[in-house]
Structure 1
Amino acid sequence: MTTLRTESLSYTTPQGRTLLHDITLGAADGETVGLVGPNGSGKTTLLRCVYAALRPTAGRVLLDGADLHALPVKARARRVATVPQDADAGGIELSVHEIVAMGRSPHHRFWEADTAADRALVREALARVGIADLAGRPFPSLSGGERQRALVARALVQQPDVVVLDEPTNHLDIRYQLEILALVRELGTVNLLALHDLNLAAYYCDRICVLSAGRVVASGPPADVLTADLLAEVYGVNAEVGVHPATGAPTVVYLPPTGPRTPPAPRLPTS
């Protein structure tokens, strides 16, 4: 069984600003853990420490009890796949198929070409995220949502033990938001993802970790964590939290600060 754990993890920038304070959380095979919190709460910084784009200034990221940052880069890449928040093309002129096939690189030596099995994995992943028809298109020509799905496909062909996703529903319409999150849950991997949409987090995450100013302020099952009091404290909003009759998941309804919505005044006839 694969386990992922951050242990008393903190991160301070070279300029001396501390963005994460003593973060401890964990997940195991088949679990989807969501990070939620307002902008600037530390979600992306925490994920970047987990997938080793940043090195914590204190604490550790443990994969099966071993320090993840001590693993060789290629060994780490075989086990941890990342879907970043920014799906910008970055000037890359590769095709969608080639971008997705990059997920196989941790499994090959530098000079080895993709095999027939690799190409089959790429085709399957493209089909699973709904962009099989875009395989030959240049990656920069895709819309933001199409790029996001391509990056999810790249993570799938990596066949990792851990999938880290930073706002994976960015740029996606509602259908693909639901399909991508359902797909992530079906993988059986350790899934750690940041989400802004609390209703999606409540439905698709087994546990939710709420961050505020770089600290964990609540962690647990969605029904225990998502309360009106917590949303008022962390987000500064009024909300009602109920249980959806069809899904059984917590449902958040945001309330305007001025109370019930008043209908617009009737328009006066013009002469």
Structure 2
Amino acid sequence: MSRAPRPTELRLRGVSYENRLIDADLTARPGETIGLVGPNGSGKTTLLRCVYGTLAPTGGSILLDGADLSALGPKARARRIATVPQDGATEFELTVHELVALGRSPHKRFWEGDTAADRTLAEAALARVGIAELAHRPYPTLSGGERQRALVARALVQDPALLVLDEPTNHLDIRYQLEVLRLVRDLGTTNLLALHDLNLAAAYCDRIYVLERGRVVTEGPPADVLTPRLLRTVYGVEAEVIPHPRTGTPTVFYLPGPPVEQEASAM
């Protein structure tokens, strides 16, 4: 967007939240795109909420470039971290352009209005996510996929160093799933995102963390993590994992049949 982001490192050390997240360690190095995968209820959204501040961890620490995030106020945190939540509010009484321009709020005093530069940034973000023609539509009238792209545009305008996304491809058709993830990778930010689609995670993430029942059970490059044994153990499905013939990224092919008996998670 307006500048090249400053490289940012995120570290979680022993982070817990009640019984929903237990002793989670995670490192996102500057410029990396890190994927969180795991079954429903595994702790992905809880971990993300601890990072962007809607939940306060009950244990452990979260560091951004070595600084404890718990010491930052909401506005200071918002200057560094932009979020696209899974359950973003859907009834803003704003136009799409006005909603996107709110991404500039952390960088201004509360009484300051939008400047010409703010408007230019919002227009550029809307164009990048493919909804420039919807700028003057009321946000509540958009489809689910259009709303998701508007929330991504708002995060871009925030000019973050760390971008946190919870299921950013929800409600999007295939074209925009690929375009949004490609855009995220090309921003130059450090990115942390939860995904259900393992093939998208393999194609767009540098490393993957797998969560199960609130715990990180393994992490590493997609080719090391996405194995038939892991899919059987964590997801209870039989699958083959084959390198893509053009890209070489691991591609998961699920095999038909009833759920398999899950092994103990000793990854």
TM bucket, shorter chain: over 0.9
Name the structure 1 match of 2:265: none
What amino acid sits opposite 1:240 in the alignment? Answer: E
Name the structure 2 match of 1:45: 46
Task: String of CA shifts for 1:90-127, please: whole Å, max 9, x gaps.
Answer: x3210000110000000000111111111100000000
What amino acid sits opposite 1:234 in the alignment? Answer: V
Name the structure 1 match of 2:169: 169
Residue 134 of structure 2 corresponds to residue 134 of structure 1: yes
Task: String of CA shifts for 1:7-63, please: whole Å, max 9, x gaps.
Answer: 110000xxxxx0011000011221000000000000000000000110000001111
Name the structure 2 match of 1:266: none
Aligned-residue identity in percent: 72
CA shift, 1:258, in A, is 5.8
Of the candidates 4, 14, 19, which is equivalent to residue 8 of structure 1? 14
Task: String of CA shifts for 1:61-112, please: whole Å, max 9, x gaps.
Answer: 11111111211211110000000112441x3210000110000000000111
1:57–1:258: structure 2 CA closer, same or farther, 3 Å change rule? Answer: closer
Q: Deviation above 3 Å: which 4+ runs of structure 1? A: none
Give the Cα–Cα distance (whole angstroms) in 1 for the partners of residues 226 and 147 of structure 2. 31
Name the structure 1 match of 2:257: 257
**Normalized against structure 2, the TM-score is what?**
0.93
Does the 8 Å CA contact 2:8/2:31 hold for their aligned counterparts?
no
Does the 8 Å CA contact 2:83/2:163 hold for their aligned counterparts?
yes
Q: Count residues in correspondence.
A: 253
SS at match of 2:254: strand
Task: String of CA shifts for 1:141-182, please: whole Å, max 9, x gaps.
Answer: 000000000000000000000000000000000000000000
Name the structure 1 match of 2:264: none
**Normalized against structure 1, the TM-score is what?**
0.92
Give the Cα–Cα distance (whole angstroms) in 2 for the partners of residues 66 and 103 of structure 1. 23
Give the Cα–Cα distance (whole angstroms) in 2 for the partners of residues 103 and 11 of structure 1. 28
CA shift, 1:247, in A, is 1.2
Give the Cα–Cα distance (whole angstroms) in 1 for the partners of residues 88 and 179 of structure 2. 18
Does the 8 Å CA contact 1:88/1:144 hold for their aligned counterparts?
no
Give the Cα–Cα distance (whole angstroms) in 2 for the partners of residues 192 and 183 of structure 1. 14
What amino acid sits opposite 1:77 in the alignment? Answer: A
**Unaligned stretches of 5+ in structure 2?**
1-6, 260-267
**Unaligned stretches of 5+ in structure 1?**
13-17, 260-271
1:123–1:214: structure 2 CA closer, same or farther, 3 Å change rule? Answer: same
SS at match of 1:257: coil
SS at match of 1:7: strand
Give the Cα–Cα distance (whole angstroms) in 2 for the partners of residues 258 and 69 of structure 1. 45
Task: String of CA shifts for 1:205-228, please: whole Å, max 9, x gaps.
Answer: 000000000001110000000000
